[in-house]
Amino acid sequence: MWELVQETVNYIKKTTNFTPEYGVILGSGLGSFTNDIKVEYTLPYNEIPNFPVSTVEGHKGALVFGTIGDKKVVAMQGRFHYYEGYSMQEVTFPVRVMKYIGVNKLIVSNASGGVNPNYKVGSIVVINDHVNMMPEHPLRGKNDERFGPRFVNMSEPYSTKMIAKIKEIAASSDIEVLDGVYMGLQGPTFETLHEYKMVKTIGADCVGMSTVPEVIVARHMELETFGISVITDIGSEEHLESITHEEVLKAAQEAEPHVRHLIKELILQY
C-alpha cells in the first residue's frame, strides 16, 4: 500500500506541481463546490495511477486542484462507496494520497437520514462523532507504521476547533446548523423502520453509507478532520415510505448553497 500511495503521489506532484493544504470530499450536498474553487488542474480518476476504477458508467470522478482565496485545496469530485463493491482499502486510498501531496485538514460531506426529532429534511448537521457499523474496518490487517499507529486514538475524530469555527460562521451568516452523531452503515438499502430505530437507540442522530472509513483513515494519519451532513430524509414511521434516491438528491441540492458557503468560509477563515 505504501508503495502504491507514493507512486500515485509522485505522479500527481509531477503533473500538478501543487501542494494543497485542504482536502475536501464532495458528497451529495456539496457537489457544486468546485464552482467556488479557482481551478488550476483537474485530474480524472481514470488517469491517476492506482486509483480505483469507477463502477458507474459515465461517472464523473476527478481530483480538482485549485485555490479558495489564498488557501490551496484539492477536492474529490465523486467518492468511492463500500456498497459499490470496493474494498475498504480502495474506498480510503484517495485519503492516503491526499495526505502525501500535502493535505493536513480534511473536510468530508455527505447526505444522511435523520432520526433526531429536531431534524427536518434539509437540516445541516455538523458531525461531532460517529459510530462505525460498517462490516469491514479500513485498518484491519498488518499495520504500516509509516502511515500511523496500530491502535488509533478516536477521542476527537472531528476537530472541535473546526466545529467551533463553523458554528461562528453559521451564526454570523444566519444559517442554522445542528450537531449530530453519524452512524455509518454499508447500504445500499435505505434503513427499515426498525433499523432507523436501532440507529436512534444506539445514540446516533443520522445514518449514511460513507464518511466513516475515510475519517478513520484520515485520523490514522493525523489529519485534522471535519464532517458535515445534509439530512435528506427522516427515518420515522410517518416519513419512511417516501425515501427515494431522487428525493435524497433533491433535498441535498436545496441545502447546497448554504453548505457551500459554510465550507468556503471555513477554509478561508480557519
Interface contacts to ligand HPA, rule CB under 6 A: 111-113, 187, 190-191, 207-209, 232-233, 235, 243, 248
Rounded CA-CA distance 13/98 in Å is: 11
Q: Which residue number, 5 or 207, has a Cβ lying nearer to ligand HPA?
A: 207
Contact of 184 with 213, CB cutoff 8 Å: yes
Q: What grid cell was written down for 250?
A: 433533491
Q: What is the smallest separation between the CB atom of 131 and ligand HPA, expressed in angstroms?
A: 13
Minimum Å gap between C-beta 193 and ligand HPA is 11
Q: Which pairs from 44-48 meet CB under 8 Å and 24+ separation?
A: 45/78, 48/8, 48/11, 48/12
Report whether 86 contacts 80 (CB < 8 A): yes
Would you say 53 or 193 has its CB closer to ligand HPA? 193
The DSSP code sequence of 114-176 is E-STT--TT-EEEEEEEEE--SS-TT-SS--TTT--SS---S-SS-HHHHHHHHHHHHHHT--
Query: Taking the complex as a whole, how short is the minimal distance between the CB of residue 232 and ligand HPA, in angstroms?
Result: 5
Dist. CA 10–CA 161, nearest whole Å:
32
Q: Which is nearer to ligand HPA, 20 or 31 (CB)?
A: 31
Nearer to ligand HPA, 36 or 191 (CB): 191
Nearest-angstrom CA–CA distance, 161 and 191: 32
Give the whole-angstrom CA distance, residue 145 versus residue 126: 31
For the CB of residue 124, give the shortest distance to ligand HPA in the complex, in Å.
Answer: 14
**Torsion on CA atoms 120, 77, 19, 145, rounded to nearest 10:** 80
Of 125 and 266, CB closest to ligand HPA? 125
Shortest distance (Å) from residue 189 CB to ligand HPA: 8
Report whether the peptide linkage leading into residue 94 is cis, meaning its omega lies within 30 degrees of zero.
no
Q: Which residue lies nearest ligand HPA, judged by its C-beta?
A: 113
The minimum distance between CB 132 and ligand HPA, in angstroms, equals 15
Nearer Cβ to ligand HPA (196/226): 196
Q: How far is the CB of 22 from ligand HPA (least distance, A)?
A: 24
| Cell numbers representing residue 102 in the block | 500535502
Of 95 and 207, the one with the shorter C-beta distance to ligand HPA is 207
What is the residue type of 151? F
